[in-house]
Chain A
């Protein structure tokens, strides 16, 4: 099962490599990763997606919690949550395709952020499966380049991951 684990950790050199190292060292996979400082500059928020059954995820979270720089963490997929990913995608846009691509962008509520006579650069946000669906709709043959930010997530309601 896919999980989104969100980690609050010390914003210190080396902290990130410990998190990443843990995954390779213990044979876990990281599917996507995004990390940036929070409103408190001493803390970073790291969100990663991984796959595993309950036992494996329990081990992952226990081991993450053992890392000295990890302050707190939550498995967002355990409760209601909002998941977003940003994608920048360059697609071929010539002839009849220009209008077709534009329509798909509108349907997926994306934005065309840069244009040339043959190429559209599109920005799209949403859950990862929505971004996958957009690539599917455009058709892989049309895609020139894809950049995805990795998943960010936050719990719904009053639940907060903070100190």
Chain B
């Protein structure tokens, strides 16, 4: 058998897992591993400028490809900088492996230089973690780490590696395990057939049904089947923020996003439904509003791979625990077997009602004549410039909601955002990860002047690797979402939500070696946007000044039901 050092084993295991890219930053405890990386050319290491960005880049890569993202950081501050990225991936169920260096085994617990109890610090935000106690265990630990991260409900796995376990002079036999056997971990592989048949019965009886599809459909590769099912039944479909793209955004059966900033018609459809087919969604607080008032007349069929998600916030009447893909496949077969059709008359009436809602209060905003342009107009111009076919990453805030509402995602994995944790600073590094995965694809990062500054140093990484990401900086000179809440709930007292002394983003982009563009007038917007996207091999930073007073609507009214919404600054339901 081949004899390898611990460091070589780590790198070989990455090769054996077929890892193309690893995002990281070197430091004392991982130097042996970096040396082993240097001496091979299968795994490409991407040097970021901050460890948080490494995790988001790996995350973006994972979201765009479905493959696990891999990160390497050193001990202490390197490791703790990765925590936000771990938490981001954990909340959105993203498969990720973080390899963190650790001080040598005999120093652990001594408060050694750059020592942090990374297993302890990361515990609440990882699916699982391993500490390497013997270099001989590295192949098995790596195999398990990838297995756990990518199966069941995916999530990040941390492998903490003390420096002495990677010492170049200590060699051990290396054989990468073909299979993992863990008596305590067996992800569900099939949904219960009886429950699926029961669900089909319920769908057939439904008079006001709705399909509510979340990120689990994207993650679980269930988009095609879900689209088939929806078309076959002619039921309305609403997507969560995480589920956008799992059902075509331009499909007429799509009633748009639901929840806090969901469309009027989506929230009304949910509230008035009699059967909800929730697929790969977790009925979280940004969707349900007050759970006690949630969809009072609805029977809930809930499909999810994670049993703990079912009946956590809202009781499910028909729970189905299983992989979305398999359950939907079996559900389609069960529909064939059943042979019946949904109540067409009732459905027709239901659609009339929904179209009515769409007509009265469909997505809209007021355009300023001669005044500053609206952020919504920027997203619409982006949609046009990219023919609706870009990978769009976003940061967190108003711009995120506008990008979710006004860009129609027709394919899964095209809309990439931190939905669960809401991590500002996610957008740019995530866009890097996507661009590495698909070098020829159009990748846009919709951001704001607040969020972009949280990881702006990655402009340097983008230059090093020639990543032609397009940054759409929707600049309202304020932390827009904070300010919106302050307008609505704090009497307009804008406590710390105004950004003074913004940098000259154009000059900044140029200083980093990129192209900068500033747009202040709507007349110039589309032209500038088209020009930016025509620069195929350059990163373009578009600094676009918009109306600082704009709010995101609709907006659910706190503690109400799903149908309680502000529709504009002056109208509410």
Contact = CB atoms under 8 A, between A and B. Distances in A.
A66 B120 contact: no
A157 interface: no
Given A59-B312, A66-B308, A14 B183 contact: no
B119 A14 contact: yes
Contacts of B308: 59, 62-63, 65-66
A144 B184 CA distance: 44
B83 to A, nearest CB: 14
Contacts of A55: 311
Interface stretch (B123-131, B503-511, B536-544): B123-131
Nearest to B148: A68
B126 to A, nearest CB: 10
B128 A68 contact: yes
Nearest to B157: A68
Interface string B154-185: 00000000000000000000000000001111
Contacts of A14: 119, 129, 131
B306 interface: yes
Interface stretch (A17-25, A105-113, A130-138): A17-25
B307 interface: yes
Contacts of B148: 68
Interface residues of A, number: 20
Contact of B124 (A25, A68, A69, A163): A25
A100 interface: no
A21 B306 CA distance: 20
Interface string B124-150: 100111010100000000000000100
Contact of A71 (B131, B183, B311): B183
A82 B133 CA distance: 39
Interface string B40-64: 0000000000000000000000000
A85 interface: no
A31 interface: no
B123 A71 contact: no
A5 B131 CA distance: 28
B184 A71 contact: yes
Interface in B77-132: 119-120, 123-124, 127-129, 131
Nearest to B183: A71
Contacts of A10: 184
A17 B311 contact: no
Contacts of B124: 21, 25
A93 interface: no
Interface in A31-86: 55, 58-59, 62-63, 65-66, 68-71
A70 B131 contact: no
A69 B184 contact: yes
A66 B306 contact: yes
Given A10-B184, A70-B184, A71-B184, 12 more contacts: A14-B129, A14-B131, A17-B123, A21-B123, A25-B124, A55-B311, A65-B307, A65-B308, A66-B306, A68-B127, A68-B184, A69-B184
27 contacts: A9-B184, A10-B184, A13-B131, A13-B133, A14-B119, A14-B129, A14-B131, A17-B120, A21-B124, A25-B124, A58-B311, A59-B308, A59-B312, A62-B307, A63-B308, A65-B308, A66-B306, A66-B308, A68-B127, A68-B128, A68-B182, A68-B185, A69-B184, A70-B184, A71-B183, A71-B184, A163-B183
Q: A-B pairs with the 4 shortest C-beta distances?
A: A62-B308, A71-B184, A68-B128, A25-B124
Interface of B: 119-120, 123-124, 127-129, 131, 133, 148, 182-185, 306-308, 311-312
Interface of A: 9-10, 13-14, 17-18, 21, 25, 55, 58-59, 62-63, 65-66, 68-71, 163
